[in-house]
Structure 1
Amino acid sequence: MTLTEQLKEAMKDAMRAKDKARLGTIRLALSAIKQREVDGQTSLSDDEVLAILTKMVKQRKDSITQYVEGGRQDLADIESAEIAVLEKFLPAALSANELDEIVSNAISESGAQGMQDMGKVMNIIRPKVQGRADMGQVSQTVKAKLTA
């Protein structure tokens, strides 16, 4: 079952359970997927759907930061609930040790010598960690290993 099909099934379940918050979040995700399909005139692969869901989670995390700074905890709580729904469709997050191992392998695979080779390393890592790690954290780990 593809990720899009899983989202559609989850939407049906949320409708049956009359869970408005979960239903709304899933509909937003399906809408974003459909928009990309229409724009590109193609069906999206699971990796592309994962990228969309990851982006949606990142946007909500940024919103939470802004809402908390603005003293709007009520809105931050809504965003947190949406993140919880979206994360159920993402693969399990990588541990720090797993991420270190992937970065080390990518550096040796690419033959990177320093910061000028960071792009090569990131291109190897990106498909392996898509939806499983924050790319900002991945970037910091790569920088630390390349400058060490």
Structure 2
Amino acid sequence: MSLVDQLKSQMKDAMRAKEKVRLGTIRMALAAVKQIEVDTRETLTDDQAIAVLTKMVKQRRDSITQYSAAGRDELAAIEAEEIKVLEVFLPQPLTEEEIAVLVDASIEEMSASSMADMGKVMGALKPKVLGRADMAAIGAIIRAKLK
């Protein structure tokens, strides 16, 4: 079953269970996927749909930071609930050890030796960690290893 089909199925379940937050979040995710499909005139693959959901999670994390800084904890809590719903559809996150192994393997594979090679390493890693790790955190690890 494709990720979009899973989202649609879970949307129906959320409707039946009258779970407003879950239903609204899944509808938002489906709308975001549909918008990209309309714009590109292509059906999204699971990897592309995962990228959309990952972006949505990142946006919500940024919103939580901003809401917390402004003292709007009730809005931050809503965003946190939406993240929990979206993370159900994302692949299992990588552990720090797994990330370190992947970074080391990519650095070796690309024969990277300086910061000038960082883009190559990031490009090689991105498809391997899509939706499973934060690329900003991976970038920091690569920077530390390529100094």
TM bucket normalised to smaller:
over 0.9
* Pairs aligned (count): 147
Letter paired with 1:3? L
| Matches for 1:1-148 after TM superposition, within 5 Å | 1-147=1-147
Share of identical aligned residues, percent?
Answer: 57
- After superposition, the C-alpha distances for 1:33-79 in whole angstroms (9 at most, x for unaligned) are 00000000000011100100000000000000110111110000000
C-alpha separation in 2, matches of 1:143 and 1:5: 38
Q: Give the TM-score of the pair, scaled to structure 2.
A: 0.99
Q: Give the TM-score of the pair, scaled to structure 1.
A: 0.98
> Structure 2: any 5+ residue segments left out of the alignment?
none
Letter paired with 2:110? S
Letter paired with 1:71? G
CA shift at 1:113, angstroms? 1.4
CA shift at 1:84, angstroms? 0.2
Letter paired with 1:66? Q
C-alpha separation in 2, matches of 1:49 and 1:33: 6
- Secondary structure of 2:145's aligned partner: helix
- Secondary structure of 1:91's aligned partner: coil
C-alpha separation in 1, matches of 2:100 and 2:20: 40
Letter paired with 1:52? V
C-alpha separation in 2, matches of 1:44 and 1:145: 35
- Secondary structure of 1:16's aligned partner: helix
C-alpha separation in 1, matches of 2:69 and 2:113: 41
Runs of 4 or more, structure 1, over 2 Å off, are none
